[in-house]
Amino acid sequence: MPKITVDGKTIECKDRTNILQACLDAGVEEPYYCYHPGLSVVASCRICLCEVEGIPKLVPSCQTQVRDGMVVHFNSSKSIANQKQTMEYLLINHPLDCPVCDQAGECLLQDYSYEYGRAQSRFEEDKAKKPKKDVGPDVLLYSDRCIMCTRCVRFTREVSGTSELYVDGRGYKEEIDIFPGQPLNNKLSLNVVDLCPVGALLDKDFLFQQRVWLLKRTPSISPVDAGGENIYLEWNEGKLYRIKPRYNAEVNKWWINDDTRHSYKAVHAENRLRQAMKKELGALIACGFNDAAETAVKQLKQIVTDHGQGSLYAVLSPMMACEEAYLLGQLIRSIDAQATLVLGPVPRSDDDVFKHYLDGKETFRIQGEKVPNRKGIEHVMQKLGGSAIDFATFSTSTAGAVKGGWIVGGYLSNWIGAEVPAVLRSGFRVVQDILPNELTRQCDVLLPSAAWAEKSGCWENYQGKVQAFDAAVAPPPGARVEGNVYHKLLGKSGMYDAEVLRNELGEPYSQAKLPTEADLAGQPAFEFVEL
């Protein structure tokens, strides 16, 4: 491993890495704008220039490979003069509208102005005025804030492969733009907002919603497909405001798809179910949650007394955490040892595959399986043993084949459609869900449940990778976390604890741990990839 000295500090580097990345890996902060390890290196912003002993002129640290014994200075007078000049140049036409800019608080231009800039501007002429542009359904471009790092342009070429963005004009008239009639409208489009080091590219959804320093972050997993993208849920005062990618080299690298970003909306949907109900004299009436849950269990027991074993079923949703599915399986089998376990519907479409615009190599894939935990639920069903089938097979059963069951939804949109399968239209039905649908209107007992961002658990992605997630916000009043409900109905002692259940489920579930503060702090924001 080569060793280099940066401002008097010796650091060990990976072979063939560049000076800037070596510094970032070693936790040595140096300024950079245009560099990103997931994109090609263009060395255009010039803020990262450093002095290397033996080389007469400054070199871009993002583009200069380390050599053993290299002595690098970011704090020499030459390097500092370059940092100040670069900052002064970048700020010449910058509007300085930090008080109304969404990026304030996480803006590299703002941070470096404090650290490397001049206290006062010497520019007396009029600033160039550039327009605000609506570049796509989800993204706005405030051109006057742009520092022309071209990260966004490179992303649309090298990762999404869609090439919607380009650099128009030359010199101080340069602007990022889209081609006429070709908006930035791919399923990875919002990654350019994360990549933009200033507030030029903005997420329409988050525009003027919150100051970023008020947001807290909870590590979580994407609920929209089987990819298992690692994310941060960002929230304040019990409300989710945005979802950002969390780096995972094996799963999603630095990127997430736009559906993942928008998935928080279902959590705060106005029509979230909040009131437990039970059917009396043919009509659903509001009742206490405990009353509804106890009625459900009592009625299911009565069915087994009247019709014998094998007359019950439980629909385990692939939106459920493995731990919850395991408990519901135990609950239904404690009432009817021969109850059938049914894997809930698994909506599918084709995978969305993204390729590098030049070499056609795959860069990102959005899984076509539009639920996060089909694999995990199948494994839990195997572990529980007994009769287990998928929803398509179950739906073909004739009405009355089973006499009662417990059905869990939890999907982020209407999953049952207008036509409820005949087998679910008869018998006694307990439904646990987050949003209203035809089944929640027809059922015999309704138990409002928690969305994924409101509970802890683990999901198994399409690769068989089991990943834990944590609750960021509380469920709405009246809704309860499924795991808590089953834990109580099973008469288990203590509090429901997802981690204890993961240990009970054994490998690989017992290995799934929530990232600790230390893990997250030590996680490289960037990891160098050779393109």
Count of CB atoms within 10 A of residue 413's CB? 10
The residue (of 30 and 205) whose beta carbon lies closer to ligand FES is: 30
Residue 231 touches ligand SF4, criterion: CB under 6 A: no
Q: Which residues contact 404 (CB under 8 A, 6 or more apart)?
A: 299, 300, 303, 311, 312, 313, 427, 428, 429, 430
C-beta of 39 vs 473, nearer to ligand FES: 39
- Interaction between residue 33 and ligand FES (CB under 6 A): yes
Q: Answer positive or negative: Cα dihedral of 415, 418, 422, 426.
A: positive
Among 184, 195, 221, 473, binds ligand SF4 (CB under 6 A): 195
Question: Which tokens in the block code for residue 272?
Answer: 């979230």
Residue in 23, 139, 148, 332 binding ligand SF4, rule: CB under 6 A? 148
Are 150 and 174 a contacting pair, CB within 8 Å? no
Distances (CA, A) of 524 to 1, 248, 329, 527: 19, 9, 39, 6
Stretch that binds ligand SF4, among 53-61, 88-96, 144-152, 332-340 (CB under 6 A): 144-152
Is residue 143 within 8 Å of 135, Cβ to Cβ?
Answer: no
Token code pair at residue 6: 């940066």
Query: Does 93 participate in binding ligand SF4 (rule CB under 6 A)?
Result: no
Q: How far is the CB of 214 from ligand FES (least distance, A)?
A: 30
Taking alpha carbons only, the member of 192, 133, 183, 197 closest to residue 158 is: 192
Asked if 32 touches ligand FES (CB under 6 A), the answer is yes
The answer to the question of residue 150 lying near ligand SF4 (CB under 6 A) is yes
Give 32 or 528: the residue with its C-beta nearer to ligand FES.
Answer: 32
394 touches 423 (CB < 8 A): yes
Answer for which of 3, 14, 46, 488 binds ligand FES (CB under 6 A) is 46
Residue 74 near ligand FES by CB under 6 A: no
150 is in the binding site of which of ligand FES, ligand SF4, none (Cβ under 5 to 8 A by kind)? ligand SF4
Tell me which residue of 508, 285, 499 sits closest to 379, measured CA to CA: 508
Q: How many CA atoms lie within 13 A of 147 on its CB side?
A: 28
* Nearer residue to ligand SF4 within complex by CB, 197 or 372: 197
- d(CA 349, CA 370) in angstroms, rounded, equals 8
Q: In terms of CB distance, is 62 or 439 closer to ligand FES?
A: 62
Q: Do residues 97 and 129 touch, judged by C-beta distance below 8 A?
A: no
Which of 4, 34, 327, 445 touches ligand FES (CB under 6 A)?
A: 34
**Binders of ligand FES: how many residues, by CB under 6 A?**
12
From 11, 13, 58, 60, residue interacting with ligand FES (rule: CB under 6 A): 60
- Give the residue with the Cβ less far from ligand FES, 48 or 328: 48
Pairing state between β 404-408 and 312-316:
parallel
The reply to whether 58 sits near ligand FES by the rule CB under 6 A is no
Q: Is 283 helix (H, G, I), strand (E, B) or coil?
A: strand
Q: Which of 19, 39, 45, 148 binds ligand FES (CB under 6 A)?
A: 45
In the numeric block, which tokens belong to residue 467? 């990943």
CA dist 199 and 140 (Å) reads 10
Nearest Cα to Cα of residue 372 among 313, 302, 457, 249: 457
Q: d(Cα 43, Cα 27) in Å, to the nearest integer?
A: 21
Chosen residue from 139, 198, 342, 472 binding ligand SF4 by CB under 6 A: 198
- Smallest distance, Å, CB 294 to ligand SF4? 56
**Pick from ligand SF4, ligand FES, none: which does 148 bind, CB < 5 to 8 A by kind?**
ligand SF4
Q: Which stretch binds ligand SF4 (CB under 6 A): 18-26, 94-102, 147-155, 286-294?
A: 147-155
Q: What residues line the site for ligand SF4 (CB under 6 A)? A: 146-152, 176, 195-198, 200-201
Q: What residues line the site for ligand FES (CB under 6 A)? A: 32-35, 43-48, 60, 62
